[in-house]
Chains A and B, each alone.
Chain A
Amino acid sequence: KQEVTQIPAALSVPEGENLVLNCSFTDSAIYNLQWFRQDPGKGLTSLLLIQSSQREQTSGRLNASLDKSSGRSTLYIAASQPGDSATYLCAVNSGAGSYQLTFGKGTKLSVIP
């Protein structure tokens, strides 16, 4: 059974700092991995999708990497801004016939002005 872990559970950084969020998964047989952002009480916004054959994806100040063999992904946020404050969820799409995303519990990010 796939398990996804996100460390740290919460992170507080001053504005302007670069930061890294970590995600690890137990079964390397994945189709892809998605990073989502969730604001309090809101839905999920997809940030980046990395297919299993890819090593990284970039969108603006965000860069996500994937090391499938070691079961790890990182989300790098450059020059953090207060508007980046949210919970970041990592979700893995596993295996043939699998319909569901397995989510981590998220990292709550606070960027202090």
Chain B
Amino acid sequence: DTEVTQTPKHLVMGMTNKKSLKCEQHMGHRAMYWYKQKAKKPPELMFVYSYEKLSINESVPSRFSPECPNSSLLNLHLHALQPEDSALYLCASSLLAGGPNEQFFGPGTRLTVL
């Protein structure tokens, strides 16, 4: 299984809502990543988890809260988002964090904040 899955595919939320994005992989990878991609722009790294511990937080606002409950699962909890947070949120995984490790991406969650 070389697949990274993400749910939901689409999400519409108001600025006062709380929602979560979910990412799962069963490739035995120990590094997982969240990226944000705005329209017609390349993906931007948000967070990196290595062995279920947060390794990198790229100065992301606290209204985005990541969680890695186990080695296969990565969540992104959303609260009090702004309309400018509307984007495609991509999850990726690699065997290990950093170094010459290929990253595998999921299909993304299209988030719209009203």
Please list the residues of chain A having a beta carbon within 8 angstroms of any beta carbon in chain B: 31-32, 34, 36, 41-46, 49, 51-52, 89, 91, 93, 96-101, 103-106
- Beyond A44-B43, A52-B100, A101-B45: 8 further Cβ-contacts under 8 Å? A34-B102, A43-B106, A46-B105, A93-B99, A99-B31, A101-B43, A103-B43, A106-B42
Q: Does B110 contact A (CB under 8 A)?
A: yes
B100 in contact with A51 (CB, 8 Å) = yes
Contacts of A96 in B (CB 8 A): 98-99
- Give the contacts of B3-32 with A (CB-CB under 8 A): 6, 31
Interface magnitude class on chain B:
20 to 34
Least Cβ distance of B26 to chain A in Å?
A: 17
Contacts of B41 in A (CB 8 A): 105
B108 in contact with A43 (CB, 8 Å) = yes
Residue of A nearest to B102 (CB): A49
Which one, A36, A44, A99, A104, contacts B98 given CB within 8 A? A99
A46 in contact with B42 (CB, 8 Å) = no
Contacts of A97 in B (CB 8 A): 98
Bitwise interface map of B from 33 to 61 toward A, beta carbon under 8 Å scored 1, else 0 = 10000000111010010000001101000
> How many angstroms from the CA of A105 to the CA of B31 in the assembled complex?
25
B90 in contact with A32 (CB, 8 Å) = no
B42 in contact with A103 (CB, 8 Å) = yes
B100 in contact with A43 (CB, 8 Å) = no
A42 in contact with B98 (CB, 8 Å) = no
Q: Does B72 contact A (CB under 8 A)?
A: no
